[in-house]
Structure 1
Amino acid sequence: MRQSKNYLKIVFFFTAGFLFFSLFSHLVFAQDIGSQTIFYVESDYDNDSRTQLNAVLVYQTSKLNIYVDTRWWNSLTPQLQNQINAQIFYLTSYFENYDYQKIVATFGSEAVPGLDNDSRIYILIHPMKQNYLGYARFVDSLPAGVGNDSNQHEMVYLSPEVFLNAPANQLGYYLSHEVLHLISFNQKGIFINSEDERWLSEARSDYLSTFLGYNNILSGSLLEKRLNALRQNSNFSLLDFKGTASDYAAAHLFAEYLVEKYGIKILVDSMRSKLTGIASLNDALAKNGYSEDFNEVFKNWLIAMAFNDCSLGKKYCFENPNLNGFHIYPYTNYLPEYGVASLTANNYLNLYAGTWIKITGGKGNLKVGYEFPQDAQYVLSYVIVDQDNNKIIKFFSSKDGYKGTINVADFGANNIALYLIPFITNSSSNSVFFKWEASTAGLTPGSSTLIETLTQRIAQLKAQVAMLTAQLNALLGQQTTLSCYRFQNDLYYGIKDSLEVKCLQKLLFEREPQLYSTGLITGNFLNLTQEAIRKYQQKYGLPATGYFGPLTRALANKQWFGY
């Protein structure tokens, strides 16, 4: 699923009537099943950091030559060899008859024939390091005199993990993913003499799982895997693609959005553009008659990722049924409800990174001041959510100055949340600090309204104490088995009859008994639980809000579940 780092930029000169591959026609020779060949491989990906290995031909069709690392193959039992042979047969049949035909009809083809004057694609299966499932190398498309470690074939590399662990009905995707890299090498690298940016190339290849129908059933699909990765970690930067699970997930979801709103031709035409990355997408959008540029698309996509709400307009949601209900969990910041409350924070923003900040709590008029570096080009979307879940979307950008103020009236009552969604489009450095401060002028000491509110609160607390006392008496001498799993949701004051709150209470008592000495497991997130969370946050250096949000949840999951 990776492109080799060995990208070489060279210029090819073609003249009329000159067939480039004829110079290498002597490389073509008939091979029999069982014949062995030495191939170059990427040491960064190979499980043993090899640069070469010996491989045996185990299967051949009119379009594919399948080789397997000889050493690994000979270490397998006959039963495992038969299992992999069956998977290979299924893969090649489906790929040749369905996937390859659709890919080529849409994106064009790899070099046919290649340097070896062979129309077949070579597939080498060899053990790879953890988390690597496949790759392709542009150097294999070059003659040996230009690329010293070129295999001089149209060639992709797959991990045995694909054949041992992937469901048979998902196999074709992994091969198709790498073959699209071959096609990109040919369409953009050879024909245009340009090199695509990795994030965009991976977005195209990853999107094939949807394009080819492998995500039609969400359960067990690659799309489900990508969604789970973003739910667990939404930190990413499209341009600073490091190959993490969240990087792939973000690239995939961006491609889903791009194709859904603007069509597959955007991915195709950007691949065939002489420009690269964002510039190639702007070129493709303009070519297909769209007025939006990448910044506008990215801005709307970030809002769709936060809310996925088609009632706001189709540009703010995913229409794919498998994405119904998906949204990013924002960084949540809770303002105290009484008195003058304020919160100051700095967020570290990379270029074209996703950052979602939610402010809730507080009482009164909310004022949020923000500031970007003066040399940064930015876009700041902000969304006001009222008690009926109605949303108002507004924007600031660099043309409005590098700092400004957002005011939200009646916060904590009629308006219950404010979302900030900033991103950087350009800066003298690849990352900047986004500074913001939120404050509310709530109920002040001595006011009659405050006295009434506190009186009501005391009455509520007395009722809760009575309820908890009754529950404690009922629980004495009674043991209940409770199975707990990784926390997925924000937990906060007022939640009742929640299994997740029960697990939180159980684990607090078991792991942090000095913070939650009562040990009550009620499922109700009330004062005792809120105070225990405040103590937990204070102990580990988090803002002591009593709100069990993303930061606290991530820490608890790591401490109590190991991830």
Structure 2
Amino acid sequence: MSNNLKVKIILIAVLFLISPLATKADYLTQQVNFFIDKDYDLSKRNQLVATLQKVTEKLYFYIDDELWNSLNNQKRDEVIQNLTSLSLEFEKNIYPNLTSNFGSEWKPGIDKDEKITILIHPMIEGAGGYFNNGDEYPKLQVPTSNEREMVYLNSKYLGINLVKSFLAHEFMHLITFNQKEKIQGIEEEIWLNEARSEYAPTLLGYDDVFTDSNLQLRVHNFLNSPNDSLTEWKNRPADYGVLNLFTQYLLDHYGIDILIESLHSSKVGIPSINEALQKNGFKEDFSQIFTNWTIAVLVNDCNLGPKYCYLNQNLKKIKVVPQANFLPLYSESSLYILNDTKNWAGNWQKIIGGKGDLTFEFDGDDKIEFKVYYLVCNIQEVCEIQDLFLDKEQKGSFTLQNFNEDYSSVTIIPLIGSKLSGFEGAEPRYFFSWKASTVETPEKREEELIKQLLAQIESLKRQIAETRAKIDEILGGKNQIYCSQIKNNLYFGLMENQEVRCLQQFLKSQGLEIYPEGLITGNFLSLTQVALIRFQEKYSD
């Protein structure tokens, strides 16, 4: 992370008042009073005294005296061993790879010394380190400047693999300062400055093993707060999460040259990215890439589209969980949602449930231009992306027929990307609302009524069968008729007749479609007559 200070350049006639006098190289056991950032220091100090504990070809390692004095000899030996290991990693991997790609730090720099100072002190939870560009200016301009090329590391991470990622991150800030501010005289926007530093550990291979990596940490940060704005910088975990995940996607599909050439561009922020994309022959601009990324983190499926997924194997299973909105399963239902978003922030709203035809209506703040995309998934979970046309008032709608029968869900992605530069503080919120409603068609209502009537008929048949069984049970042996043949003519109105019972027993044996009532009474009345007619009609051929 970087701590950028706005520095007003003051022209002084006497050159030596601006530049510090040439200094001798630091020596082991040298004590120096350093200014530090109290917002990062564990004890909220703004100054500390530190002693130079190790010197290498490219590095000075200073350790906070309060920390060092609290350690026994064994712990001190462990610290020196960890510094030796870290210095080798810096000089063999971090320094040569980052400088060969992006260019060098300011060298020999403000202190006229080619070595970089690393100050190690206890920091607050969640801080891996920081960089203060004020250290690159003379005290005449920045009174709290340490007048060194230096970075700060949290002592907590010494001896842990993550410290390599944190050192790479902070050193990348040193490079950016030189390449952008020192050489070109322009200050990079914070979000893009941090993007390069966030990608440094991945470039160096520190994220190849996902477990306990900086990438794993950033995935966790992102999934906890996926709606965070990419360009609004508040130095929170959510900022690092969304920035890292977007940068991973950008370089997955467009390559490291986009970050490199944007660094050497005379432009900053989004315009520098667009310039680098155009220079490298890509048709997409930053806006289209951001849109594709919001879809990619939702579906992460190359089959849906080549740009709708991550290529990094460690990110193949990463997906955001959209906010779920459930429509009641009534014949008619509706849901109204009021929400807000910011420039370059993802927003995912999933609609499920409902019954009948679904109509979706969007209404955005007409002071800003929205883009709305939606992911429609059918019952087989085959999905497609569509864009919603919005009029000048930022209103638009669409309808999906037979929702919840033909479709399982629809996910809305409203986006704003109108601001291209000047991201220096809190960004304004823009409100939007949407309404989802379902209505059954007359055909569906008629079909549903028929289903209900058929169900009632089946229920009545079951009740008749149950009643008949109870009658048989009550009558006992009286309704157990044993017939070999019917010798007499039977006619309507015949009562209490044994042969009528035989006929009824026979008709009952033909099933419910012939004699659903199944009564064995010996009385030849209308039910028996109708059953006999059904039997005759069935076998008339």
Q: Within the alignment, does 1:287 sit opposite 2:254 as a pair?
A: no
- Please say if 1:107 is aligned against 2:106: no
TM-aligned CA distance change 1:406 to 1:80, over 3 Å? farther
Corresponding position of 2:49: 54
Amino acid at match of 1:71: E
Q: Name 1:484's counterpart in structure 2.
A: none
Structure 1 residue 156 and structure 2 residue 182: aligned? Answer: no
In 1: Cα distance, 2:367 partner to 2:434 partner: 17
**1:41-89 deviation line (CA, Å, top 9, x unaligned):** 1122222222221100011101000001111211123232222222211
Structure 1 gap segments, 5+ residues each: 14-19, 460-563
**C-alpha distance in structure 2 between counterparts of 1:388 and 1:446, whole Å:** 25
The separation in 1 between residues aligned to 2:104 and 2:369, in whole angstroms, is 39
- Counterpart among 226, 236, 248 of residue 234 in structure 1: 226
Partner of 1:6 in structure 2?
A: 5
2:377 to 385, 409, 426: 385
**1:316 matched to which residue of 2?**
308
1:439-483 CA-to-partner distances (Å, cap 9, x unmatched) read 1114889755167479989x9xxxxxxxxxxxxxxxxxxxxxxxx
1:511 alignment partner in structure 2: none
Counterpart in the other structure of 1:64 = 59
Aligned twin of 1:97 = 92
| 8 Å contact kept, 1:22–1:117 | no
Which of 247, 262, 268 is residue 239 of structure 2 equivalent to? 247
For the pair shown, the structure with the greater C-alpha radius of gyration is 2
Q: Distance in 2 between matches of 1:213 and 1:44?
A: 30
Write the deviation string for residues 480-527 of structure 1: whole angstroms up to 9, x where unpaired.
xxxxxxxxxxxxxxxxxxxxxxxxxxxxxxxxxxxxxxxxxxxxxxxx
SS of corresponding position for 1:315: coil
Q: Equivalents in 2 of 1:424, 1:348: separation in Å?
A: 11
Matched, 1:353 2:345: yes
> Could you tell me how far 1:379 is from its partner in structure 2?
1.3
Aligned equivalents of 1:10, 1:214: Cα separation in 2: 38
Following superposition of structure 1 onto structure 2, how do residues 118-517 of structure 1 map, counting pairs within 5 Å? 118-163=113-158, 166-167=160-161, 170-396=162-388, 401-426=393-418, 430-442=428-440, 447=446, 449=448, 452=451
Give the deviation of 1:263 after TM superposition: 1.0
- Quote the offset at 1:116 in angstroms: 1.5
Which residue of structure 2 aligns with residue 519 of structure 1?
none
What's the CA shift for 1:22? 13
**Secondary structure of 1:55's aligned partner:** strand
Residue type at the aligned position of 1:252? N
RMSD in angstroms over aligned alpha carbons?
A: 2.6
Structure 1 CA distance, aligned partners of 2:321 and 2:230?
A: 18
Q: Secondary structure at the match of 1:405?
A: strand
CA distance in structure 2 between the partners assigned to 1:429 and 1:4 by the alignment:
19
User: Contact 1:21 / 1:117 at 8 angstroms: preserved in 2?
Assistant: no
3-state SS, counterpart of residue 184 of structure 2: coil
Residues in 1 aligned to 2:331 and 2:440: alpha-carbon distance in whole angstroms: 5
| Residue 88 of structure 1 pairs with residue 83 of structure 2 | yes
Structure 2 letter corresponding to 1:95? F
Partners of 1:378 and 1:423 within 8 A in 2 = yes
Identical aligned pairs, as a percentage? Answer: 36
Aligned residues between the structures: 448
Listed one character per residue, the Cα deviations across residues 66-114 of structure 1 (whole Å, up to 9, x for unaligned) are 0011112111232322222222111110111112111000010101111
Cα distance, 1:410 vs structure 2: 2.0
Match of 1:504 in 2: none
Q: Distance in 1 between matches of 2:371 and 2:10?
A: 38
SS of structure 1 residue aligned to 2:324: strand
Q: Given residue 66 of structure 1, which amino acid in structure 2 is its aligned partner?
A: F
How far apart are the structure 1 equivalents of 2:389 and 2:137?
Answer: 45
CA displacement, residues 311-356 of structure 1 (integer Å, 9 cap, x when unaligned): 0222111011111111100001111222101100011111111111
Question: Cα distance, 1:301 vs. partner?
Answer: 0.5
Q: Distance in 2 between matches of 1:137 and 1:454?
A: 77
Q: How does 1:520-535 map to 2 (within 5 A)?
A: none
Output the amino acid matched with 1:117. Answer: K
TM-score, normalisation: structure 2: 0.78
CA distance in 1, matches of 2:174, 2:44: 23
Asked whether the equivalents of residues 378 and 397 of structure 1 are also in contact (C-alpha less than 8 Å), the reply is no
1:526-545 mapped onto 2 (5 Å cutoff): none
Equivalents in 2 of 1:380, 1:78: separation in Å?
62
Unaligned stretches of 5+ in structure 2? 420-425, 459-541
SS of corresponding position for 2:125: coil
Paired letter, 1:178: E
1:317 and 1:66, CA in 2 relative to 1: closer, same or farther beyond 3 A? same
Whole-Å separation in 2 of the counterparts to 1:454 and 1:90: 80
SS at match of 1:359: strand
Counterpart position of 1:31 = 26
Q: In structure 1, how many angstroms separate the alpha carbons of the residues matched to 2:375 and 2:453?
A: 31
